[in-house]
């Protein structure tokens, strides 16, 4: 979810890197009616060979695999560094990076690849529904075949998110949660202390105080939530809301917790005009525009991914946890793992090679490197003892915010409909954030759609 002297993101960066992993979304996305047929066979895999060409003249040539991922900006640069490090570290596997625009494009292209039978061996993408249909290979035998992998060291909640019906289909590459980034100057100028912004009510009042209006228009915004449903879902979960009833049979996105929360966001954006969102554009363009506003002094702060830290200048900015609500308690935003999987149609040799690459990326040293340089959460508990990470966290306190928030965060929603409930929430969020539709109406429509999809599972 970082270097202290990073320059602000410029328009050149915006046009060059419109793809940033943020917070984004991970597994459980839905598939269309044209999804490929499931693969009938998921070949079992065995541990990868250990002999190198230097040890035996008759050794096999390196196995070259494609790794698909939708990362840009500093995330893409750091991924490239680890791929190069892996390729130089051994002679058995060569990872060929294939960069997509974002997570969504990766999913779409993977769907087409599965249909054609020409799949990559490794993908930074996950889909629970596709795993159930046999499109991804289970990883349990690969994990069992390599004791050095040490699954017990992986943060349990992250590893658990990669399981489908008791089998491990995905591995966590890094953890993410959305936190609050703010301009130190903006808060100081208005006499506001970050430690006092522990509730959304307090943040709303601070945003109104910091906003600058002239001629009926806002020239400086007090806060900028990120476009999409995620920020508002986080705030709703922090208020005690839920997406499904405890028995999983009823969609509960029209309760007072949902309506009151989403309506408050609508008022801040459209009526008070103390907050705003950037929407649309290509790839992650809206994300960069949001960051730009804070870096260029056009907004006091924004809600973004822990992974943004690699692109921010913490001489000017600071980070804090998402707030809760008065009388409810601390915030409970989602903390999730960005996961990778191996398509079932990859050959056994390719699957072994892909697992070797995943294991390397997840090593304590490398997951600590990723966390320090991107802001995402390390996936191994032992990474906290990595000497470089220990030294870094002392001099860069913002790096500890995602970890602190994750300790009381909500688990990501596993959509039983293959993404239809999430889709309904995305549509409702656009109606509230962009079209200024009252939250009660937007959520009522979303619930009706989501409930119909859920009922089809009966």
Q: What average pLDDT does this structure show over 249-265? A: 98
- Summarize pLDDT for 164-216 with one digit per residue, the tens: 999 999 999 999 999 999 999 999 999 999 999 999 999 999 999 999 999 88
- Summarize pLDDT for 215-248 with one digit per residue, the tens: 889 999 999 999 999 999 999 999 999 999 999 9
Please tell me which residue, 139 or 55, carries the higher pLDDT value.
139
Among all chains, which residue has been given the structure tokens 């995305």?
A: 426
SS3 (DSSP) at 387: helix
CB atoms within 10 A of CB 243: 19
- Asked whether residue 48 carries a pLDDT value surpassing 50, the answer given is no
- Domains of the chain and CATH, by start: 11-176+336-406 (3.40.190.10), 178-333+413-455 (3.40.190.10)
> Residue 147 phi/psi, 5° resolution?
-55, -30
* Strand-pair partners of 154: 380
Whole-number Å distance between alpha carbons of 142 and 46: 6
251 in Cβ contact with 243 (< 8 Å): yes
127 in Cβ contact with 353 (< 8 Å): no
- Summarize pLDDT for 10-27 with one digit per residue, the tens: 333 333 333 333 333 333
Residues in the chain: 458
């Amino acid at each position: 979810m970082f270097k202290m002297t990073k320059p602000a993101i410029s328009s050149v960066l915006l046009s060059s890197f419109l793809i940033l992993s943020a917070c984004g979304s991970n597994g459980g996305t839905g598939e269309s009616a044209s999804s490929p047929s499931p693969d009938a066979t998921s070949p079992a895999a065995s541990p990868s060979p250990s002999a190198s060409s230097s040890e035996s003249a008759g050794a096999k040539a390196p196995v070259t695999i494609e790794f698909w991922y939708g990362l840009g900006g500093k995330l893409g640069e750091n991924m490239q560094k680890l791929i190069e490090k892996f390729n130089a570290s051994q002679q058995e596997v060569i990872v060929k990076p294939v960069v997509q625009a974002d997570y969504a494009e990766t999913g779409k292209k993977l769907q087409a690849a599965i249909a054609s039978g020409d799949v990559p061996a490794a993908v930074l993408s996950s889909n629970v529904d596709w795993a159930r249909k046999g499109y991804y290979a289970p990883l349990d035998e690969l994990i069992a075949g390599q004791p050095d992998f040490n699954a017990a060291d992986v943060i349990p909640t992250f590893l658990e998110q990669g399981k489908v019906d008791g089998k491990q289909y995905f591995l966590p590459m890094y953890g993410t949660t959305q936190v609050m980034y703010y301009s130190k100057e903006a808060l100081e100028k208005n006499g506001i202390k970050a430690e006092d912004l522990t509730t959304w009510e307090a943040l709303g009042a601070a945003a109104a105080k910091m906003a600058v209006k002239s001629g009926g228009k806002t020239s400086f915004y007090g806060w900028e939530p990120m476009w999409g449903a995620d920020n508002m879902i986080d705030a709703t979960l922090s208020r005690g809301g839920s997406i499904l009833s405890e028995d999983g049979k009823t969609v509960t996105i029209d309760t007072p917790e949902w309506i009151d929360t989403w309506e408050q966001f609508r008022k801040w954006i459209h009526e008070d005009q103390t907050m705003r969102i950037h929407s649309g554009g290509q790839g992650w363009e809206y994300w960069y525009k949001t960051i730009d506003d804070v870096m260029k002094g056009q907004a006091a702060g924004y809600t973004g991914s822990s992974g943004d830290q690699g692109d921010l200048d913490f001489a000017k900015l600071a980070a804090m946890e998402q707030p809760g609500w008065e009388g409810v308690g601390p915030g409970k935003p989602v903390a999730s793992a960005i996961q990778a999987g191996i398509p079932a149609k990859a050959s056994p040799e390719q699957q072994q090679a892909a697992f070797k690459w995943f294991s390397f990326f997840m090593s304590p040293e490398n997951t600590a490197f990723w966390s320090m340089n991107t802001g995402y959460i390390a996936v191994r508990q032992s990474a906290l003892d990595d000497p470089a990470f220990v030294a870094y966290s002392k001099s860069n306190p913002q790096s500890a915010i995602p970890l602190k928030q994750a300790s009381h965060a909500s688990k990501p929603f596993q959509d039983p409909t293959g993404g239809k409930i999430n889709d309904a929430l995305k549509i409702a969020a656009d109606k509230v954030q962009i079209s200024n539709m009252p939250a009660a109406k937007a959520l009522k429509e979303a619930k009706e759609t989501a409930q119909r999809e859920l009922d089809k599972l009966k």
